[in-house]
Amino acid sequence: MDRHSSHDFSAKWARGVLGEVVVSAKEVHDRVGELGAQITQDYATRPPLLVGVLKGAINFMADLMRTIELPVEVDFMAVSSYGAATKTSGVVRIVKDLDVDLLDRDVLIVEDVVDSGLTLNYLRQYLGARSPASLEVCALLLKEGEQRVEQSLKYVGFSIPADFVVGYGLDVNERYRNLDAIYTYVGEA
């Protein structure tokens, strides 16, 4: 089955709003395993604090932490820069802050998608002000050609075209997060 022309069986209920498969469920699974193995190796002597960015990174964070063979700790932040739109507003609002202290911790931000980079840039400054020992990023998706801010990303799952995508945690108005693959979103029929 050509991943770019067909939907997998789990997406039948969303027909009419989904375009092409951008990243298949198998590709996601395999790449998350590779990222977890690399993180395990890189942080072998100091297990990181994983900071998941809600809500989009929840599927990625859950799968990623299970592939890291270290006693990692987790916490979550919720930020908003989209509202109900499909393009970032550029204005970042902290909706939920961290519960743990970052002082002298190795922190790994787990992000679903980096497009303009404005939200991630804000998060790096915000968390960096709390004096972590290190602050790196693991992003599932990097949208090609969309960055307005130069980014240094230690771990990237996939580089994808600039299309708006849903699935595997990514949503439109809180829908489609439960798809196991990542699709372009074409809108309501």
Residue 104 is among the residues annotated as catalytic for this protein: no
Select which of 42, 112, 115, 163 is catalytic. Answer: 115
> For residue 48, which of 140, 121, 136, 156 has the smallest C-alpha distance?
136
User: What string of DSSP letters covers the chain?
Assistant: --TTT---GGGGGGTTTEEEEEE-HHHHHHHHHHHHHHHHHHTTTSPPEEEEEETTTHHHHHHHHHH--S--EEEEEEEES-TTSSS--S--EEEE--SS--TT-EEEEEEEEESSSHHHHHHHHHHHTT--SEEEEEEEEEETT--SS----SEEEEEE-SS-EEBTTB-BTTBSTT-SSEEEE----
**Annotated active-site positions, please?**
115
